[in-house]
């Protein structure tokens, strides 16, 4: 199989590329990635099956680039997206271009090239804040952040491609991912790397926002299962194995790392900060999906990975653009 993966230099995409090349010895992957601030070739350093991988630098919103990259592809897994909520609040324009226009360009090209399977990777944030129970795939989309709104729009674009043109597209909606190679602006790697450096971690608001956590390898397995066994036109929620408040997560990580509570700094809450996400994964389980790792073991292995791989994250955190963003978005908030 020749598989086109978009965003394969990012966190989830690079883990999927690594996992897939190891799992399928005859698989060939074309990796379309623009290498934005969060795209990092080091994410694929030393991976197994490198000779069956080709990186194409390009924008998913550029029809000519997408057309060239998709030539001969049997299937597509579309990870490429702007994904950081805080950045979307500061400026939503890149999110609309990449997440909405880029998805439409990808779908149009897939139709022209008669791609047999297309997985559009989305997020549980499209459901909005869930007061009780779990979101199912037929629930209305009620996004609250510019990021979530752009992903909800891309989900509808994918649905339209199936309804209007019969494109065999499946959508996955995943809860919070964690694991190696996650850009250190996201909560968990920021927390861990800050504490390795002896720096405080900014905790939004009262810390009682609830998130469901799934290890990135389990997410990769779920996406692969949907790619191979999912029903075209369907949506599949991908949940994790632990639902807990941000405050509880901070406490668990502090305990594992032996960090004093003084390195937690409450800051003013984020705008439109969804209180709780939770997804029902019965449809995915019906395909045969089971998690392969427990949350605690995966959390410990993730912390160990960041401790052992400072060569990977220190250059990212020391970049001028990252320092400027961090100072602008967190340092000026003050204590909550």
Distance between CA atoms of 319 and 88, rounded to whole angstroms?
A: 20
Concatenating the DSSP letter of every residue in 135-195 gives B-TTSPP---SHHHHHHHHHHHHHHHHHHHH---EEEEEE-EEESTT--TTSHHHHHHHHH
Residue among 179, 151, 158, 183 at smallest CA distance from 36: 183
Judge contact between 133 and 278, C-beta under 8 A: yes
Distance between CA atoms of 57 and 7, rounded to whole angstroms?
A: 10
> What is the C-alpha R_g of the chain?
19
Residue among 103, 77, 58, 70 at smallest CA distance from 17: 77
108 flagged as catalytic: no
Distance between CA atoms of 17 and 21, rounded to whole angstroms?
A: 6
Residue among 19, 269, 302 at smallest CA distance from 178: 302
Pure H helices in the chain: 11-23, 63-70, 85-90, 93-95, 102-112, 146-165, 187-196, 216-229, 246-257, 282-286, 295-308, 310-317, 320-326
74 flagged as catalytic: no
Helix (H, G, I), strand (E, B), or coil: what is residue 278? coil
Distance between CA atoms of 309 and 180, rounded to whole angstroms?
A: 9
224 flagged as catalytic: no
The single residue of 59, 82, 125, 274 carrying the catalytic annotation is 125
> Which tokens belong to 137?
């795939």
End-to-end CA distance of the chain: 52
The single residue of 33, 124, 212, 218 carrying the catalytic annotation is 124
The single residue of 147, 181, 204, 236 carrying the catalytic annotation is 147
Question: What are the residue numbers of the active site?
Answer: 124-125, 147
């Amino acid at each position: 199989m020749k598989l086109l993966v978009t965003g394969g230099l990012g966190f989830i995409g690079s883990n999927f590329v690594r996992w897939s090349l190891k799992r399928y010895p005859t698989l060939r992957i074309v990796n379309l990635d623009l290498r934005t601030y969060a795209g990092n070739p080091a994410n694929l350093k030393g991976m197994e099956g490198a000779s069956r991988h080709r990186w194409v630098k390009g924008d998913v919103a550029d029809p000519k680039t997408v057309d060239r990259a998709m030539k001969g592809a049997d299937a597509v897994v579309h990870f490429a997206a702007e994904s950081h909520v805080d950045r979307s609040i500061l400026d939503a324009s890149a999110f609309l271009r990449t997440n909405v226009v880029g998805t439409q360009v990808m779908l149009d090209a897939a139709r022209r090239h008669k791609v047999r399977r297309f997985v559009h990777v989305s997020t549980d944030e499209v459901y909005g804040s869930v007061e009780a129970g779990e979101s199912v795939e037929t629930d209305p989309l009620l996004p609250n952040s510019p990021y979530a709104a752009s992903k909800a729009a891309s989900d509808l674009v994918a649905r339209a491609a199936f309804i209007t043109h019969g494109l065999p597209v499946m959508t996955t909606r995943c809860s919070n991912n964690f694991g190696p190679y996650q850009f250190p602006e996201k909560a968990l790697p920021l927390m861990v790397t800050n504490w390795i450096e002896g720096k405080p971690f900014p905790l939004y608001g009262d810390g009682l926002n609830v998130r469901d956590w799934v290890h990135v390898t389990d997410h990769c397995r779920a996406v692969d299962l949907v790619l191979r066994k999912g029903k075209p036109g369907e949506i599949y929620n991908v949940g994790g194995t632990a639902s807990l408040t941000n405050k509880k997560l901070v406490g668990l990580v502090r305990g594992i790392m032996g960090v004093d509570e003084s390195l937690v700094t409450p800051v003013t809450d984020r705008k439109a900060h969804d209180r709780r996400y939770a997804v029902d994964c019965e449809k995915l389980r019906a395909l045969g999906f089971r998690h392969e790792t427990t949350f605690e073991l995966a959390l410990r292995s993730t912390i160990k990975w960041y401790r052992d791989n400072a060569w990977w994250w220190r250059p990212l955190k020391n970049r001028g653009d990252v320092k400027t963003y961090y100072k602008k978005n967190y340092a000026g908030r003050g204590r909550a």
